[in-house]
Structure 1
């Protein structure tokens, strides 16, 4: 099945798109969603989508910015831009990017199905989608990569694919070897680096949006979810508990 990701800061829009299309009939499945381009860039390597629906108007990283970053890193990724803004300039910017469709919201189910049918035909024709593994990754390579991440994890544009490309490895192979050698997935290691710094900054009572920016997750909503998952409590609760000590 072809894998689909939906990126929209409106939860209702994400749920509507997910529920209104007969994905199975198209040999597709929705494997995940994100509320911003920043969040999407952080989780896209785990989801490995073939198709992305991206809202053009989102905070912190809009659909155009996401498309620029994503299509540079993921050459075969197919992106459908969704927008409620009938704005020529936005459309003009999208035309210069490798975007399959530009669809106005609220979308019409039949129109989306027709677009997906065309995309499916295109994907079906791509019979040879294999990538060469390239040279083996050694423990020494992994140590260099770990040090690179420790030195650069505050860069919000870093993710698995960008690091794999930097060191000359196939992303899928790199992902498997990274977990094999470290015991953690790439995302888990990157988040742990960011959250350890976030904890130090939280102990100084720094505002959450400032901490989020400093650790490389400028989307405060996504940062908040990461922090709570890592520490077990919200950022504000952590700050309050340390202020009382």
Structure 2
């Protein structure tokens, strides 16, 4: 999934562009917006976009200045400058900063389609290199981020390998391999471990199984029961009884 950030000081344009982009390509999702270059540079770390649509004329920090800073921080970021006719030559003079494309307002649907096709193709072609990066210097930091994300979100029943991979911009099978290589445990196994450790705490308090199952993100009591027994060696009710006997 290609993550996009839209940076424009006009809300109407941001909304229209978001609708157009997500309709145009199912491989694309708008993850963040900003109304100025300053807001964007302060929030881009939260979104980690693959592509940024940036208006050239914005208050406080224009699109060119933002692009220089953003590309320095994220060399693989694909920036598409949105420019009015009067600014077009000015924008073209800044081609050396590494902007992917310049689009002249008003932008036609054909231009958006063609640009998106090219940018997504380029991102896909760079994916092997992107994946190699995770096993170099940045790998430990990335894995720590993923573990923290799981620790904070395991109670969500919708979280899984695919959603986590999309969140961090990786292929799911690749992320699974690297996570196990770096941690010695599979990603799904780690997710289950987080859920079961929380379940044990609930069992020690005597919480009913179906309540605990929902609490840890496994709303199906039967499946939860299987996971709990595999992890602890005891069925849930036996664990509660054992805990009660220990306390006595």
Using structure 1 for the length normalisation, give the TM-score. Answer: 0.54
Say if 2:22 and 2:29, in contact at 8 Å, map to a contact too. Answer: no
Alignment of 1:79 onto 2:79: yes
Number of the residue aligned with 1:102: 102
Contact 1:21 1:109 in 2 (8 A): no
Taking a change above 3 Å as real, the CA distance of residues 64 and 170 of structure 1, as seen in their structure-2 partners, is farther
1:86 touches 1:104 (CA, 8 Å); kept in 2?
Answer: no
Closer, same or farther: CA 102–6 of 1 in aligned 2, 3 Å: same
Which residue of 2 is the match for residue 90 of structure 1?
Answer: 90
Displacement of 1:16: 1.0
In structure 1, list runs of 5 or more residues that go unmatched.
136-168, 184-245
Distance 1:126 1:35, change over 3 A: same
CA distance in 2, matches of 1:102, 1:112: 11
Instruction: Point out 4+ residue stretches in structure 1 off by more than 4 angstroms.
Output: 132-135, 169-172
TM-score (norm 2): 0.53
Describe the superposition over 1:168-201 as per-residue Cα deviations: whole angstroms up to 9, x where unpaired: x679539839x79xx9xxxxxxxxxxxxxxxxxx
Contact 1:26–1:116, Cα closer than 8 Å, also in 2: no
For the 8 Å contact 1:133–1:173, the answer to whether it is kept is: no
1:119 counterpart residue number:
119
Q: Point out the structure with max Rg over C-alpha.
A: 2
Alignment partner, residue 186 of structure 2? none
SS in 2 for 1:86: helix
Residue 7 of structure 2 is matched in structure 1 by 7
Going from structure 1 to structure 2, the CA distance change for 1:172 and 1:74 (only over 3 Å counts) comes to farther
Residues matched between the structures, number: 148
Q: Distance in 1 between matches of 2:8 and 2:140?
A: 26
State the superposition RMSD in angstroms.
2.7
- The separation in 1 between residues aligned to 2:9 and 2:144, in whole angstroms, is 28
Match of 1:17 in 2: 17
- What SS does structure 1 have at the residue aligned with 2:97? coil
Answering whether residue 139 of structure 2 is matched by residue 173 of structure 1, we say no
Contact 2:56 2:91 in 1 (8 A): no
**Residues 120-199 of structure 1 aligned to structure 2 (within 5 Å):** 120-128=120-128, 129-130=130-131, 131-132=133-134, 173=142, 176=145
Question: 1 or 2 for the larger relative contact order (CA 8 Å, sep ≥6)?
Answer: 1
Q: Structure 1 residues 175 and 93, CA, compared in 2 at 3 Å: closer, same or farther?
A: farther
Aligned to 1:33: 33
